[in-house]
Structure 1
Amino acid sequence: MSGLKFNLVVIMALMLASVQFHDTVAQTTHVVGDALGWNIPPNGPSAYTTWASGQTFRVGDVLLFNFTTGFHNVAEVAQAAYAPCTTANPISIATTGPARVTLNAPGTHYYICTVGTHCQIGQKLTINVSAASATPAPSPTPAPVIPTPVSPPTATPTPTPTPAPSTTTSPPTSSPAPSSDEASPISPPTFGQSPSGSNAPSPTDTTILPPPSPSSAPSFTTVVPFTFLAIALAFFYYI
């Protein structure tokens, strides 16, 4: 913050110096009569008339009257008092030389020396003052720009993909094949009727059913009907 205050003070000082510089440039100091100064002219009033014709007077300019104090003075008078060199009731008067008179208003201004007959023998001046020229206002020096800290961009989190529901179908669990022990017993056919079904033995079929698998030992209740069935079939077909 101290550095910023120092910069502001420097900028204000530069602006003030710039305004004063423009005022100094706009203000022109005119040395009345140049080398002649403010004295009794040797060739009459034409000396100051010729000098004034080569000058440009504007509001704010300064007239510098160089004279010796006690020998001359300079008084601004009205137009009516200028031609007859009337010294009574001047607008302003300066008795100490050199005298500086600032031109504060546009128009025609009249100056004479009120000492003795100096005005009558040519120590008098008429000038025309124009309005002050438009001086462009000084451009203010821009204040230093303090950069605003920029926050780093916040990283947007990447959305986690939602896993798709599994469409894999579990294979159906196969039911275990029934063991031979769980097989239903075959009922023997009734005598006097032909056995039905494609698996029934034909009259000429004498094939004996194979014994059960040794992996499962037949129970007594299963072996007895098969033996009885074989004897019954043999008896039925061969009688």
Structure 2
Amino acid sequence: MAIKIMSMAALVAVVLASTVLQITHAANYTVGDTTGWTFPPGGNSEFYNNWAADNNFLVGDILVFNFATGSHTVAEVTEAAYNNCSGTNPISIHNTGPASIVLNRTGAYHFICSVPGHCEAGQKLSVEVRNGPGSTAPTPGSSPNAPGTPGSGPSGSPPSSASSLVAAVSLAIMPIAFVLLC
């Protein structure tokens, strides 16, 4: 009976460890940090793309756009619509703040505020999403040196170091759980 309980405990430990490993890769990024999603401060039309350049976005990460409902929107648009500040036929649109958007594929994402005049004032964001921490190759159609392409600088949130620590602890627990199963 004691062996059966230990085996069940080991199985639970393995499941928990793999769950922790699975969720450690996702990070939440508050767009614009404390500024939120609004008119760029000081009329800096590159504010949001400069913010993106300080972050490294991976599949599964979440962008959180903090804005007052009724004052702004978050529209995901094509690159052409982004370049022209056109909110016509968006891929998706969020009218209620805050809006959370999961980055569920690699490649470029383009966001604008579709309220007239806001995108033209610089309320627009383009991010490049990579497949994982070890991925260094650009995705098809992307340019590693294009303006607004995120760099690999500090992210402003602790996903890398926190995830690494949790992953290391989880990896240390899994062999112990396997030994207990045998």
Partner of 2:32: helix, strand, or coil? Answer: coil
Contact kept in structure 2, 1:37 and 1:66, CA below 8 Å: yes
Residue 180 of structure 2 corresponds to residue 144 of structure 1: yes
TM-score (norm 2): 0.71
2:2 & 2:115 partners in 1: Cα distance?
62
Give the CA deviation at 1:16: 2.1
Give the CA deviation at 1:18: 1.2
Contact kept in structure 2, 1:60 and 1:132, CA below 8 Å: no
Contact kept in structure 2, 1:57 and 1:128, CA below 8 Å: yes
Contact kept in structure 2, 1:74 and 1:114, CA below 8 Å: yes
2:150 maps to what in 1?
Answer: none
1:23 & 1:99 partners in 2: Cα distance?
24
Q: Residues 55-204 of structure 1: matches in 2 within 5 Å?
A: 55-133=55-133, 138=171, 139=174, 141-144=177-180
Q: Residues 41-52 of structure 1: matches in 2 within 5 Å?
A: 41-42=40-41, 43-52=43-52
Give the CA deviation at 1:107: 1.0
Give the CA deviation at 1:35: 1.1
TM-score (norm 1): 0.55
Mean alpha-carbon deviation: is it higher for 44-53 or for 102-111? 44-53
Q: Deviations over 1:155-185 (max 9, x none)?
A: xxxxxxxxxxxxxxxxxxxxxxxxxxxxxxx
Partner of 1:110: helix, strand, or coil? Answer: strand
Contact kept in structure 2, 1:62 and 1:101, CA below 8 Å: yes
Identity across aligned pairs (percent)? Answer: 37
Q: Deviations over 1:69-108 (max 9, x none)?
A: 1211111111111111111111111222111111111111
Partner of 1:27: helix, strand, or coil? Answer: coil
2:4 counterpart letter in structure 1:
K
Kindly indicate which of the two structures has a greater share of residues assigned to helix: 2
2:127 & 2:2 partners in 1: Cα distance?
53
Contact kept in structure 1, 2:77 and 2:110, CA below 8 Å: yes
1:144 & 1:84 partners in 2: Cα distance?
61
Give the CA deviation at 1:145: 6.5
Residue 54 of structure 2 corresponds to residue 54 of structure 1: yes
Larger Cα-atom Rg = 1
Kindly indicate which of the two structures has a greater share of residues assigned to strand: 2
Give the CA deviation at 1:9: 2.5
2:117 counterpart letter in structure 1:
T
Partner of 1:26: helix, strand, or coil? Answer: coil
Segments of 5+ residues of structure 2 without an aligned counterpart are 135-163
Q: Which has the higher contact order (CA 8 A, sep 6+)?
A: 2
Contact kept in structure 2, 1:31 and 1:37, CA below 8 Å: yes
1:104 & 1:30 partners in 2: Cα distance?
14
2:95 & 2:8 partners in 1: Cα distance?
43
Segments of 5+ residues of structure 1 without an aligned counterpart are 147-239
Contact kept in structure 1, 2:74 and 2:113, CA below 8 Å: yes
2:17 counterpart letter in structure 1:
S
